[in-house]
Structure 1
């Protein structure tokens, strides 16, 4: 096992690897978060030779970060209009201006859209 498991840089690197793994594979485990977490722990242990206890800790921290990322972006109603949606990420200090037509074209009207349903139904 790697002897650097107590250094902050090492742990941050492994936590980032866990976060990247969670982001890549979360869609495969939409209904079973424990399977995703276990898979991530196993990935850290096998790919990075991390002790299981460290992998559990860093996977848990990465999962918290993943949840925070998913909920920190906000719709900015003050700057949005009928044709443009403005989304802000206050932590990163960035915002995106997205045309509503692009949202419709790429998400709502996409052929593989099986998760979103019309609000009129």
Structure 2
């Protein structure tokens, strides 16, 4: 294996670590993305001994990936029914079939549901 491949593998590994950190902690910083990014950079520097400029670069790339992930999932209306919602990830080619009653039980009717509102007029 050549040195360039090793560097790319290392950077991808560190970027994956940054992405995992961002995914785990994004709910703690809903109104302040810069605080989340700073925490991720500090995490890479302290946990993986990454130089700060590299940590900043890889955290930024991971953040772009996180934003793309959030917007790529779509409803697959061709396969949805009254009782099942189908969500697709066109990039990875995955589809998930989710019963509507499960969405109601786990999300809408959950005791900690404070962010979702009724759509009734």
For residues 47-58 of structure 1, the aligned pairs below 5 Å read 47-58=47-58
CA RMSD of aligned residues (A): 1.4
The equivalent of 1:11 in structure 2 is 11
TM-score normalised by length of structure 2: 0.93
The equivalent of 1:20 in structure 2 is 20
Unaligned segments of structure 2, at least 5 residues: none
TM-score normalised by length of structure 1: 0.93
1-structure distance, mates of 2:93, 2:101:
25
Unaligned segments of structure 1, at least 5 residues: none
Deviation at 1:85, TM superposition (A): 0.4
The equivalent of 1:107 in structure 2 is 107
Deviation at 1:91, TM superposition (A): 1.1
Q: How many residues align?
A: 117
Secondary structure of the residue aligned to 1:77 is: coil
Higher helix share: 2
Runs ≥4 residues deviating over 6 A: none
